[in-house]
Amino acid sequence: MPYCWKCGAKLKEGDEFCHACGTPAAKVVKEEFSVSADNLIEKVKELLHEGNVTRIIVKDEKGKVMLEIPATVGVIGAVLAPWLAALGVIAALATNCRMVVERRE
């Protein structure tokens, strides 16, 4: 399910505008890759600083969603701290993770 790039509201598939703020919905491209648990936190920080990422989903080796981070959270550093703490716990439990990154075009 896509999210509004401006306010973070959930959008339905095919929506052209956000129902909450009226912003035109951006086209979203999904990218999936594997990352080791040792590099998980650094990779997430790197992705959030890129700016065009709308959502990051961290999955375990079996494909179960372990954490979902909306990029609107990444804008505020103080709010990001609990997400990074959760990533630290995930990194301690998992050996390899799959990340799904949604980017707006």
Whether residue 21 is contained in a domain is answered as: no
Number of domains composing the chain: 1
Name the residue with higher pLDDT: 103 or 90. 103
Whether residue 2 is contained in a domain is answered as: no
Longest distance between any two alpha carbons in the chain, whole Å: 42
Whether pTM exceeds 0.85: no
CATH number of the structural domain spanning residue 99: 3.30.950.10
Whether residue 3 is contained in a domain is answered as: no
Average pLDDT over residues 12-29: 82
Whether residue 43 is contained in a domain is answered as: yes
Query: Residue 34 in 3-state DSSP?
Result: strand
Q: Which amino acid is at 30?
A: K
C-alpha dihedral sign at 54, 60, 34, 79: positive
DSSP conformational letter for 104: E
- Number of residues written out for the chain: 105
Q: Which domain holds residue 83?
A: 28-104
CA distance 29 to 100: 10
